[in-house]
Amino acid sequence: MGNRVYIFDTTLRDGEQSPGISLGTREKLEIAEQLQKLKVDVIEAGFPATSKGDFDAVCQIAKKIREPVICALARALPDDINTAWEAIKEAENPRIHTFISTSDIHLAYQLKKSRQEVKQLAVDAVRLAKRHTSDVEFSPMDATRSDVDYLCEVLEAVIREGATVVNIPDTVGYAIPEEFGDLIRTLMEKVPGIENVLVSVHCHNDLGLAVANSIAALKSGARQVECAINGLGERAGNASSEEIIMALKVRKDLLGFETGIKTEEISRTSRLVSLLTGYPVQPNKAIVGRNAFAHESGIHQDGVLKARSTYEIMDASSVGLVESDIVLGKHSGRHALKEQLERLGYYLKDDELDQAFSRFKELADKKGSLSGKDIEAIALEFIRTQGQEWKLTGYEVHSGGKEAPPSATITLERDGERRTERAIGDGMVDAACKAIRAALGVDAKLISFTVEAITGGLDALGDVTIQLEVGGKRVVGRGVSTDIVEASARAYLNAINKVLR
């Protein structure tokens, strides 16, 4: 058993299942390209059978991302498996990941099937997947609440049928590290043939133990970890990719494991995922939070000034947290913007660059100069809004007073069609959002509204994140501007466009 750990990234599949996240094909492809730069081993690109949009996105990723394994998820159903293969068949390294529950709780209440029936479905699924590709992964869902002897029986059967990876998921985040490590060790000892396949783990964070459980599993013999950037995922999320990667790197002395990850891309990957999904990174988030390398205590500051190793266990540059010296002003040209975008890793086509440059000039006229973070925000806002049905082309707001309440007039355009609406509200932001809602006829309930400054200073770009509930489903929108009302309108429209999409 070697010490190489394979990083299986599920940001685009399980991560996208976080409430309110709805990524378009362009957004997913942008994240996949960055995951390739990060050098993850496997990208779980999506669940093709769930929707045409997901199918199309997985197809595009399979065609364009050539280095990592491109994986598609499928239930243990023939239609799911065949659809998954259609989506990834043009990948350089395709993998089908099929799953079915094995816990008695799920069998009784969700599947309503016997143990023998489920085992046969698992075997049939792996057999069908093997007809399409040699690389097949199988997951017994809710493994940590399954009967161990039955779990061993199912794993033995799918390995015999040709599964090349067996993944042990802690689907509901129930396990404790010592317990989970013991489970992996038991499976390694009791399942015939398991020594010939790659053992994987997929841990959820309901008890805040996903990373600890994943590391415990590695110590017991697992060699693939399924994780997501910023810990995104169902409920409390998945094991955080950046935390696992850096734990293995910083404590290699104790753990002895290696990955193929280019850690200098971690910070940029985190920012990209955050800005495109609309899920902010908490300030005190390990590795990638803005406070991760900040020191407030006088004692800590004194020590760091004398030697950073006194209170820092890793170098900020090792995860790509370095200050950018990029500054562009209102007199900067299109070529300068193109050069700086490419330096940041964003490659736009000529027509896309023209649109991004127009937005850049608009903001530079208001702010004067734009930093690297500002430029990155413009690029990501452009990517977020690609494919949107409606675009904000004009707005006028009045703060109101004793004689009149706050009001906003909003103009939206789509394919030559223009709609203008005026609304009044409790404030200018409320009025602007009401005008958009009236113009598009979408009844939305505001769940959350947050504003952050992208850089320091009174002229900083405002980054607004809005979460809406429409028809029982949640969507997240994000918008950027020097004007908070405009940023809010853009975020609201971004969320509504996802509903319409």
SS (H, E, C) 428-440: HHHHHHHHHHHHH
pLDDT of residue 106: 98
Span 164-205, pLDDT tens digits = 999 999 999 999 999 999 999 999 999 999 999 999 999 999
Q: Provide the angle, in degrees to the nearest 10, between the axes of the packed helices 52-64 and 78-88.
A: 40
- Quick count: other Cβ atoms within 10 Å of Cβ 60? 18
DSSP string, 124-145: HHHHHHHHH-S-EEEEEETGGG
d(CA 134, CA 126): 10
pLDDT of residue 169: 98
Spans of all domains in the chain: 6-277, 292-322, 327-385, 391-500
Q: Quote the CATH superfamily of domain 6-277.
A: Aldolase class I (3.20.20.70)
Query: What's the distance, Cα to Cα, between the start and end of the chain in Å?
Result: 47
Torsion of CA 119, 122, 128, 129, to 10 degrees: -150
d(CA 89, CA 83): 10
Q: Is the pLDDT of residue 303 over 60?
A: no
pLDDT of residue 457: 73
- Quick count: other Cβ atoms within 10 Å of Cβ 173? 22
d(CA 310, CA 308): 5
User: Sorting pLDDT into bands at 50, 70 and 90, what band is 386?
Assistant: confident
d(CA 501, CA 488): 20
Helix, strand or coil, per DSSP, at residue 21: coil
Span 276-295, pLDDT tens digits = 898 989 889 999 988 887 64
User: Sorting pLDDT into bands at 50, 70 and 90, what band is 441?
Assistant: very high
CATH code for 391-500?
Answer: 3.30.160.270
Mean pLDDT of the region 253-273: 96
User: Sorting pLDDT into bands at 50, 70 and 90, what band is 275?
Assistant: confident
pLDDT of residue 374: 84
Q: Contact at 8 Å (CB) between 433 and 446?
A: yes
Three-state secondary structure along 353-411?
HHHHHHHHHHHHHHHCEEEHHHHHHHHHHHHHHCCCCCEEEEEEEECCCCCCCCEEEEE
d(CA 308, CA 346): 32
- In the chain, helix, strand, coil percent, each to 5? 45, 20, 30
Mean pLDDT of the region 121-138: 98
Q: Is the pLDDT of residue 297 over 70?
A: no
Percent of the chain whose pLDDT exceeds 90: 68
Distances (CA, A) of 456 to 161, 370, 451, 501: 58, 11, 13, 35
Q: Is the pLDDT of residue 65 over 50?
A: yes
d(CA 198, CA 138): 11
Cα torsion 4, 38, 313, 205: sign? negative
pLDDT of residue 126: 98
When the pLDDT of each residue in the chain is averaged and rounded to a whole number, the result is 91
Entry pTM: 0.85
Half-sphere exposure of 139 (CA within 13 A, CB side): 23
User: Sorting pLDDT into bands at 50, 70 and 90, what band is 389?
Assistant: confident
d(CA 140, CA 199): 12
User: Sorting pLDDT into bands at 50, 70 and 90, what band is 309?
Assistant: low
pLDDT of residue 294: 66
CA-angle at 8, arms to 5 and 14, nearest 5°: 145
Q: Which of 432, 427, 344 lies closest to 380 in space, CA to CA?
A: 344
User: Sorting pLDDT into bands at 50, 70 and 90, what band is 323?
Assistant: low
Provide φ and ψ at 216, rounded to 5°: -60, -40
Q: Is the pLDDT of residue 340 over 80?
A: yes
Percent of the chain whose pLDDT exceeds 70: 95
Q: Is the pLDDT of residue 9 over 60?
A: yes
